Copies of this chain bind each other. A is one copy, B any other.
């Protein structure tokens, strides 16, 4: 059995500690923030996430499915809001499957407590990783009082997020790396519950205000309120406003009144929140390799920070943990060099794929869901899936409701795009989309592609 240092006690680090502690390894988790179970590290921010199928697969493998299920809220559909306040409900699947909204803070607290139940796992808070010696798996941690101490292990796993300190130390070898900020930044807008605590919007839907070049979305919290997020370009273009042209109070009020009149009804202080809340950026991080010899591995956002538009960041990180544990099942716990090579080979292409898929879903959310042809395509795909479930599983379902490797889902999604482009070009498709002929054409294209 090994002595393992996990840098970062967030969602992925704490789940990984559960997996590794149960195998009998000695696991030390070092987290730079205070213990979120005794300090409000999220400082009033109501960040929520969704657990989807592959998140559940990993939690089940760790024996935590029931423990986590109890703190989630199912979400069955998107609900779009147009400029006139009209809404359209678009179910996520044809068979009532759901994604599950959960508070990041609450989930983190639960996973930390589950990790701590293993006698082999020790949690250390207020420990900032300031150096890593990759060759000897030795980390230097600084405590909040300035004291530093060094911890040598057999293996260091960096689950320390998009700005990983472990990864920063890997930059000076033969290490490919990119960080790319997308043009859109975001601001959070809290959407309160009614005075009696009932929600103002359907909590079983993810709400989207798609405006082509920008969008707002809302996801239910357990208190009846919603966390709203406005995504908008930094810099205005001829087509759309940007955070740089929506700055003064008058501009802000005009912007919301024109673009999101129904949201103004729901959030009376929407302009004040916009003016007060910070503007945050979104970064995509890719790197290669994720491992260093038999000594260091990256996992979760540290290896693959992605944009949040598929809600898969945490689920991808949980899947990393499950695959890592399965490789230990298969290869044993002694030859970590081989385990890390195989982990890198298995996960790196999927990290790249979910990064691409997440960008793709941004276009879908902000633009396509308001497009009649996109809605028609969804209907045709739903019909194909219902009648030929073995042949046609829409991309969204592959990503959110299956364990199909992200890289295979991406490739299949691109194939679906090509086929549906031809199907949508059929004459009079709006009237004939439910015909046998359209179905036969789609399946024939599928056969041939």
Contact between chains at B174 and A177 (CB < 8 Å): no
Q: What is the CA–CA distance of A296 and B174 in the complex, to the nearest angstrom?
A: 28
Chosen A-B contacts, 16 in total, with CB atoms closer than 8 Å, are A163-B172, A171-B179, A174-B181, A174-B281, A175-B179, A175-B181, A176-B178, A176-B179, A176-B180, A176-B181, A177-B177, A177-B178, A177-B179, A178-B178, A178-B179, A178-B180
Q: What is the CA–CA distance of A177 and B178 in the complex, to the nearest angstrom?
A: 5
Collect the chain B residues with CB atoms within 8 Å of residue A179's CB. Answer: 171, 175-178
Chain A interface residues (CB < 8 Å from chain B): 163, 171-172, 174-181, 281
Q: What is the CA–CA distance of A172 and B172 in the complex, to the nearest angstrom?
A: 17
Q: What is the CA–CA distance of A180 and B180 in the complex, to the nearest angstrom?
A: 14
Collect the chain B residues with CB atoms within 8 Å of residue A171's CB. Answer: 179
Copies in the complex: 2
Q: Which B residue's beta carbon lies closest to that of A185? A: B174
Collect the chain B residues with CB atoms within 8 Å of residue A180's CB. Answer: 176, 178
Q: Which B residue's beta carbon lies closest to that of A163? A: B172
Q: What is the CA–CA distance of A107 and B290 in the complex, to the nearest angstrom?
A: 40
Collect the chain B residues with CB atoms within 8 Å of residue A172's CB. Answer: 163
Q: What is the CA–CA distance of A189 and B271 in the complex, to the nearest angstrom?
A: 67
Q: Which B residue's beta carbon lies closest to that of A181? A: B174
Collect the chain B residues with CB atoms within 8 Å of residue A163's CB. Answer: 172
Report A377 CB to chain B, min CB distance, Å.
33
Q: A171-B179, A175-B181, A178-B180 are known contacts; what are 13 more A-B pairs with Cβ within 8 Å?
A: A163-B172, A174-B181, A174-B281, A175-B179, A176-B178, A176-B179, A176-B180, A176-B181, A177-B177, A177-B178, A177-B179, A178-B178, A178-B179
Q: What is the CA–CA distance of A171 and B177 in the complex, to the nearest angstrom?
A: 12
Collect the chain B residues with CB atoms within 8 Å of residue A176's CB. Answer: 178-181
Q: What is the CA–CA distance of A181 and B174 in the complex, to the nearest angstrom?
A: 6
Collect the chain B residues with CB atoms within 8 Å of residue A281's CB. Answer: 174
Q: What is the CA–CA distance of A180 and B176 in the complex, to the nearest angstrom?
A: 5
Q: What is the CA–CA distance of A187 and B199 in the complex, to the nearest angstrom?
A: 67
Report A131 CB to chain B, min CB distance, Å.
14
Q: Which B residue's beta carbon lies closest to that of A179? A: B177
Collect the chain B residues with CB atoms within 8 Å of residue A181's CB. Answer: 174-176
Most B CB within 10 A of own CB, among A171, A176, A281: A176
Report A215 CB to chain B, min CB distance, Å.
20
Collect the chain B residues with CB atoms within 8 Å of residue A174's CB. Answer: 181, 281
Q: Which B residue's beta carbon lies closest to that of A234? A: B174
Q: What is the CA–CA distance of A386 and B172 in the complex, to the nearest angstrom?
A: 48
Q: Which 5 A-B pairs have the closest CB atoms?
A: A178-B178, A174-B181, A176-B180, A177-B179, A174-B281
Q: What is the CA–CA distance of A338 and B174 in the complex, to the nearest angstrom?
A: 37
Report A439 CB to chain B, min CB distance, Å.
42
Q: What is the CA–CA distance of A178 and B286 in the complex, to the nearest angstrom?
A: 9
Q: Which B residue's beta carbon lies closest to that of A177? A: B179
